[in-house]
């Protein structure tokens, strides 16, 4: 009486478990290439009903899995499931031993030799020992720091491994250890090199990131606070940061709505890595941030960039810079979590200094008691000898965008906000001007005539969608933008990138 009934399958034992019965997994998207047998559910072929037999997967989550699977053309590895809305790292931890991404076998009995053959024919998941960094190799259960150093040294001296068995040539790696780690690694020697240096992110415009302007938009993932607790990620190969474009000094700016970023979310290692490595890999020097639900949250990223506690940040080969941050004293917006703040992150070692920052107040409120006009956050930066004015915008979506923005705007503000006519007077005296952030509607909307009257032009066209999410990777609406003055338009490189990050 009072017990729980369920139709869940028994969980098979992970053949790579080195802990003799003691589970030592973090709640992370970091899993080995575990053995597939008849008890595992293939998430690339499972129906909604079959997915609902997994613990914690209801009809809504099952539908999200199928929709996301159709969008990306199938999961490449088990941990990709964490990116589906409603799953996340915690739920994936509970079901990972019940699922697979390769064909289910017809036999549950395997000899050690057959296990090796099975793994050879499974899709390449886990860690590529020919391209992995030392930090990535350290994430392999069973490898010590000394062995990792030996692997890296062997690879540097003799070239890439031709097979997993070649690992026994490395000092302190024997056949017993090899059997324990073979399910976590693979060998791939010939891979078409990527020409994309934007951090492995999917751009919807040019393939190369812009030196002056980005529009970044976080995903609407339903993860534990802020995302996976830890991401042992394969960082892309990037060119040395030169701070130049066509031989001339360049400064890259970005805008990023962090969607209800609290201190708890910012303390999440996975979230910190995504934010910090995106800035470093793309040479972003000034970042406008919106939707902070706690003012102290932004400083978490600043500290990480300066002190480097994460492996990926620590192993960054080039100077990380000296980062500073500032957050608005007053709220600048509203979200489902209450009031939100805006802020700026900048690299002071690049010759960038903050002169002042202020919230542009608009006392008029609507029937909900919220501001009818967005509270803009204006900052004056000195970039070398040039004074740059950056205005961060966080507007509620209009009614036409309400459906796509329902996750972040659930407080009955579907009528949206509008720029106050008084902003025209404020911006009139600013020469080098950037107005960027979440505008909640298409740049063609008449409500932005106030910006056009000041000769500002949007860098993102209405046909380029920015509401990117895991459920809709291509997006459906242009809600984010970067407007620049005529003087900046003359030196703008013409390259732009926007993507879903979480």
Per-residue pLDDT tens digits for 416-458: 567 877 788 888 888 899 999 999 889 999 889 999 999 999 9
- The residue-averaged pLDDT of 87-96 equals 84
CATH number of 17-118: 1.10.150.280
Distance CA 216, CA 214 (A): 6
pLDDT the model gives residue 32 = 31
Q: Residue 365's pLDDT band (boundaries 50, 70, 90)?
A: low
pLDDT the model gives residue 426 = 84
Q: So what's the architecture of 216-489 in CATH?
A: 4-Layer Sandwich (3.60)
Distance CA 341, CA 125 (A): 40
Q: Give the residue carrying structure tokens 């097979």.
A: 163
pLDDT the model gives residue 224 = 39
pLDDT digits (tens, 9 = 90+) for 161-193: 888 888 999 999 998 888 888 878 888 644 333
- Helix, strand and coil content of the chain, in percent to the nearest 5, comes to 25, 20, 55
Strands (E), 202-336: 216-217, 244-245, 248-249, 252-261, 284-292, 323-327, 333-335
Is CATH 1.10.150.280 correct for 126-186? Answer: yes
pLDDT the model gives residue 303 = 96
Evaluate if residue 371 carries a pLDDT over 70.
no
Evaluate if residue 297 carries a pLDDT over 90.
yes
Segments of the chain assigned to CATH 3.60.10.10: 216-489
Q: What's the pTM? A: 0.54
- The residue-averaged pLDDT of 458-484 equals 82
pLDDT digits (tens, 9 = 90+) for 41-51: 889 888 888 89
Bridge pairing between strands 352-360 and 376-383 = antiparallel
Q: Around Cβ 298, how many Cβ atoms within 10 Å?
A: 25
pLDDT the model gives residue 279 = 93
**Residues ≥6 apart with Cβ < 8 Å to 100:** 34, 36, 40, 41, 42, 43, 78
pLDDT the model gives residue 420 = 78
Which one has a higher pLDDT value, 273 or 72?
A: 273
Q: Where are the alpha helices (DSSP H) in 159-229?
A: 175-181
Q: Residue 470's pLDDT band (boundaries 50, 70, 90)?
A: low
- The residue-averaged pLDDT of 466-485 equals 81
Task: Using DSSP, state whether 341 is helix, strand or coil.
Answer: strand
pLDDT the model gives residue 220 = 34
- 186, containing H or E segment: strand 185-186
Token pair in block for residue 20: 């003799």
pLDDT the model gives residue 234 = 56
Evaluate if residue 476 carries a pLDDT over 50.
yes
Q: Residue 198's pLDDT band (boundaries 50, 70, 90)?
A: very low
pLDDT the model gives residue 423 = 83
Segments of the chain assigned to CATH 1.10.150.280: 17-118, 126-186
Q: Residue 477's pLDDT band (boundaries 50, 70, 90)?
A: confident
Q: Give the residue carrying structure tokens 């911006």.
A: 427
**Residues ≥6 apart with Cβ < 8 Å to 21:** none
Q: Residue 102's pLDDT band (boundaries 50, 70, 90)?
A: low
Which residue from 304, 265, 269, 102 is spatially nearest to 183, judged by alpha carbons? 102
Distance CA 329, CA 338 (A): 16
Which region among 57-71, 157-171, 201-215, 347-361 has the lowest average model confidence (pLDDT)? 201-215
Most confident of 5-19, 275-289, 462-476: 275-289
Which residue from 373, 352, 354, 351 is spatially nearest to 362, judged by alpha carbons? 373
Q: What are the phi and psi torsion angles at 107 (to 5°)?
A: -135, 140
Considering the chain, what percentage of its residues have pLDDT values greater than 70?
68
Distance CA 474, CA 416 (A): 23
């Amino acid at each position: 009486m009072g017990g729980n009934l369920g139709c869940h399958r028994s969980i098979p034992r992970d053949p790579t478990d080195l802990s003799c019965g003691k589970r030592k997994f973090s709640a992370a998207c970091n899993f080995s290439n575990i053995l597939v047998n008849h008890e595992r559910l293939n998430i690339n072929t499972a129906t909604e009903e079959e997915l609902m037999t997994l613990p914690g997967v209801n009809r809504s989550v099952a539908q999200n899995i199928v929709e996301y699977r159709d969008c990306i053309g199938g999961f490449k590895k088990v941990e990709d499931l964490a990116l589906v809305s409603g799953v996340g790292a915690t739920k994936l931890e509970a079901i990972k031993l019940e699922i697979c991404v390769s064909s289910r076998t017809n036999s549950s009995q395997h000899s050690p030799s057959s296990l090796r053959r099975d793994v050879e024919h499974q899709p390449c998941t886990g860690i590529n020992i020919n391209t992995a960094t030392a930090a990535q190799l350290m994430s392999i259960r069973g490898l010590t720091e000394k062995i990792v150093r030996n692997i890296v040294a062997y690879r540097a001296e003799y070239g890439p491994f031709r097979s997993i068995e070649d690992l026994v040539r490395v000092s302190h790696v024997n056949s017993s250890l090899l059997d324990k780690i073979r399910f976590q690694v693979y060998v791939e020697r010939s891979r078409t090199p990527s020409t994309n240096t934007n951090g492995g992110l999917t751009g919807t415009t040019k393939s190369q990131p812009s030196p002056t302007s980005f529009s970044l938009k976080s995903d609407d993932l339903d993860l534990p606070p802020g995302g996976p607790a830890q991401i042992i990620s394969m960082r892309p190969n990037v060119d040395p940061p030169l701070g130049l474009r066509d031989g001339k000094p360049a400064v890259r700016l970005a805008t990023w709505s962090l969607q209800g970023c609290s201190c708890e979310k910012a303390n999440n290692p996975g979230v910190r890595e995504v934010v910090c490595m995106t800035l470093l890999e793309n040479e972003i020097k000034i970042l406008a941030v919106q939707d902070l639900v706690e003012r102290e949250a932004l400083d978490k990223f600043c500290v990480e960039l300066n002190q480097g506690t994460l492996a990926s940040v620590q192993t960054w080969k080039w100077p990380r810079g000296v980062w500073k941050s500032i957050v608005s004293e007053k709220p600048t917006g509203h979200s489902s979590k209450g009031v939100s703040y805006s802020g700026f992150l900048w690299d002071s070692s690049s010759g960038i200094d903050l002169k002042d920052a202020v919230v542009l107040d608009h006392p008029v409120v609507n029937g909900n008691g919220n501001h009818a006009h967005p509270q803009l956050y204006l900052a004056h930066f000195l970039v070398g000898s040039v004074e740059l004015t950056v205005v961060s915008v966080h507007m509620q979506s209009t009614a036409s965008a309400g459906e796509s923005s329902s996750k972040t705007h659930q407080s009955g503000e579907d009528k949206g906000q509008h720029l106050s006519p008084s902003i025209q007077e404020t911006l009139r005296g600013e020469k080098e001007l950037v107005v960027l952030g979440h505008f909640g509607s298409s740049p063609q909307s008449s409500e932005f005539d106030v910006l056009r009257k000041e000769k500002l032009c949007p860098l993102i066209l209405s046909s380029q969608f920015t509401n990117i999410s895991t459920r809709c990777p291509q997006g459906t609406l242009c809600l984010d933008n970067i407007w620049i003055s005529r003087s900046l338009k003359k030196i703008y490189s013409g390259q732009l990138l926007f993507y879903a990050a979480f």
